[in-house]
Structure 1
Amino acid sequence: MDNLTSALTLARIDGLGAVKIKRLYLAFGSLPAVFKASADQLGTSLEARLVNQIDTLQDDERHPIHRLVALDKQWLADNPEVRILSLGDAAYPQLLADTPAPPPVLYVRGNADALELPQLAMVGSRSPTAGGDKTAFEFARYLAAGGFAITSGLALGVDASAHRGALHGGGVTIAVMGTGIDRVYPARNRGLADQILAQGGALVTEFAPGIASDAANFPRRNRVISGLSLGTMVVEAAIKSGSLITAKYALEHQREVFAVPGSIHNPLSRGCHQLIKNGAKLVESAEDIVSELEGGLAFKRGQVQSQQPRQPEHWLLTLMGYDPVSVDQLCDLSGKSASELTATLLDLELEGKIAQRGSYYTRL
């Protein structure tokens, strides 16, 4: 049995899972060697139920799992634009292989070589504020232009903004999916997925073709996002958020965690503030990230420094601060009338420096 067939077969065994497959890989030196091991040898790494399943697969060529693996391989033959990397392959991403639960197989559409680039994971709320959206876009843009591949989950909100920012910066971005490689979720991001592929990026998943979106898939996806990356940056996240799961995996993987602070009145800042309290690095600029990840991208530091966004100097922005503020409050603070402020607020909004949400304005 070759490495790919071994990986696909082990991935199909119910109850085995990535952690135990990694344990077998380390114990026997390769995945094909697992199927040459005796029951006694397997018993040193696995419980009896799983040993019996592997033992049966060794002897029964008509086992249903063998038929499913044959269908997997036929699908790959019919879709040559998709590449599959299996644990133990030379092309399998080393950072991911070093984690406790690397997927036995990765389906890759697009540029598989992009997985070897130094990656920064960027995650956050699916419903970010205008400021969070802009922060994700701008950080991704500057860091991608400086040489990082931006890795995220192709979700709405911060994920999509991070992918778009990387593309706008002329860089590479990688989307890790919670579905089979033949599906894009959410459907409205199909155009974004096409742009990622067109610009030298990749779509990646551990799920077999045909697997639909399911809530249980996304924590598994999040560990891959973290595992591929040198560090994870959280832009906006509530206390109970999938983004914090990604950050938790990053800590388990002994990778850096970065968090963007926000207003104490913004519930989407609380997850980031909790991360900072627990030791995540507070970031205000791309240089904060580069300084922590010098080993991965030291030679690009000067480029990223030179691309730092300049903060606007307008007097009204200084007056607003970073909390949502109403026109009445601005009138009180500035001593000007609402009619005097309206034109200035409109100009700043058109310049993309503030956003209006209901009766409140927020500095971006």
Structure 2
Amino acid sequence: MERKDAFLWLKSISGISTKTIEKLQNEVGNIENLMEFSDREIYTLKNINLNIKENIVKYKSNSYLDELREILYKNDVKYFCIDDEYPSDLKHIYNAPILLFYRGDLSILNDTLNIAMVGSRKPTRYGVSCAKSISKQLSNLGVNIISGLAIGIDSFSHIGCMEGKGKTVAVLGSSANNPLPRQNIALADKILDNGGLILSEYNVNSAVIPSNFVNRNRIISGLSKGVIVVEAARKSGALITVEFALDQGRNVFAIPGNINSEMSKGCNKIIKEGAKLIEDLDDIINEYNISCINKVEFGKNYDNISLSKESITVINAIKNKGVLQIDDICDYTGMEIKSVNTLLNELSLKDIIIEGNNNTYSLNV
């Protein structure tokens, strides 16, 4: 029996946790030999709960293990353990998963630079634009993007990456054959079709409970060299990933946002606490050994878009000031509010500017 099979067998038994498996390894040495133990030998194991010993005896058979493997095969799910070709960055985190299930190309994890992107499930248009733009530009530099397949920033980070040259990895809080939320099943399929990876520490048919999604955050950061928070409220779940990243010694980046936007409170908070502010792509790539690349401009190039002189004046006003209300735009441009309002509507339709909270306007990066 391979060690990964021993872990698969034991993890399927009720009451057996990773810590229990560690105790068993300390007791028996080679865990893959445990199934060959007699019932009497199992009952004499020290520091193991009696109910767990009874369950080990109950399910101690090669036919039971074959059933587990057959279910995985039918669901097109593969598995590997911490003693296999396991990602080195993940292997050294606290509470590293001893067994992982996957669909797709596992080589991505050891292929190149992996960076995580996380954020709000209810992003603004500004957050969506940033997530897609940054992930695509990093992807074009050969960086793989890791996220959690949640709606919102996670989804747009995956999408942006697939528009570039890199690959994206979705770490799930459900099993690899049961991507959640269900509205992202099509996105999960697209990730696989694009040569990406779906990863989970939960076996097929495992119960999905809220703590799963907290636990998977340690894997998202653990697989990555750094974590980018695109947009997050003060109590956003994305900040849990930041806590894991800091504990694991990873770089943390954040995109600043409108001080009046609730969705920027979390990012602005962690920037004040020491996260690196992202103003352009150099703020990310300078932290890593990414050489021999063409500099990518952070932001849209409007040169090829047909714009009136008045539209360009409005764009330049917003570009110079960052975020402006319509009254301020009128003041800076000297135009009447009716004309400015018409121009803002046209620029919004062309996806050049974004309307934020309190009737503020910013450029779509």
Bucket of the pairwise TM-score, normalised by the shorter protein? 0.7 to 0.9
Letter in 1 for 2:278: V
1:111-126 equivalences under 5 Å are 111-117=105-111, 118-126=113-121
* TM-score, structure 2 as length reference: 0.83
Judge which range, 226-235 or 212-221, deviates more: 212-221
CA contact (8 A) 1:122 1:233 kept: yes
**Residue in structure 2 matched with residue 63 of structure 1 by the alignment:** 59
Which blocks of at least 5 consecutive residues in structure 1 are unaligned? none
Write out per-residue CA displacement over residues 50-89 of structure 1, whole angstroms, 9 at most, x where no aligned residue. Answer: 4x5665566x2x338988654321212324x322111211
Residue 337 of structure 2 is matched in structure 1 by 338
Instruction: Say how many residue pairs are matched.
Output: 349
Residue 296 (structure 2) pairs with residue 306 (structure 1): yes
Question: Which of the residues 95, 99, 104 maps onto 1:101?
Answer: 95
Q: Quote the offset at 1:318 in angstroms.
A: 4.3
Larger-gyration structure (1/2): 2
- TM-score (normalised: structure 1): 0.84
Distance 1:56 1:239, change over 3 A: same
Q: Distance in 1 between matches of 2:136 and 2:148?
A: 17
1:184-333 to 2 correspondences below 5 Å: 184-211=179-206, 213-294=208-289, 298-299=290-291, 302-303=293-294, 305-309=295-299, 314-320=312-318, 321-323=321-323, 325=325, 327-333=326-332
C-alpha deviation, 1:11, in angstroms: 2.4
**Shift in Å at residue 358 of structure 1?**
8.0
Q: Which moved more, 1:164-173 or 1:8-17?
A: 8-17
* CA deviation after TM superposition for structure 1 residue 100, in Å: 1.4
The letter of the residue matching 1:3 is R
Q: C-alpha distance in 1, partners of 2:265/2:358?
A: 23
Q: 1:145 aligns with which of 132, 140, 143?
A: 140
Q: Distance in 2 between matches of 1:149 and 1:196?
A: 12
Which residue matches 1:78?
74
Counterparts in 2 of 1:359 and 1:231: CA distance versus 1, 3 Å:
closer
User: In structure 1, the residue corresponding to 2:139 is in which secondary structure?
Assistant: helix
Q: What is the rounded CA distance, in whole Å, between the counterparts of 2:187 and 2:158 in structure 1?
A: 8
C-alpha contact (below 8 Å) 1:25/1:34 kept by paired residues: no
What is the aligned partner in structure 2 of residue 8 from structure 1? 8
Query: 1:140-169: CA deviations, max 9, x gaps?
Result: 001011011100011111001100100111
* 1:190 partner amino acid: I
> Shift of the alpha carbon at 1:27?
9.6
Match of 1:355 in 2: 354
Q: Retained in 2: the 8 A contact 1:19–1:101?
A: no
Point out where structure 2 has 5 or more consecutive residues left out of the alignment: 304-311
What CA deviation, in whole Å up to 9, does each residue of 1:206-246 have, x standing for no partner? 11112354322101111111111111111111121111111
CA distance in 1 between partners of 2:27 and 2:134 (Å): 42
Which 4+ stretches in 1 moved above 6 angstroms?
22-30, 33-39, 64-68
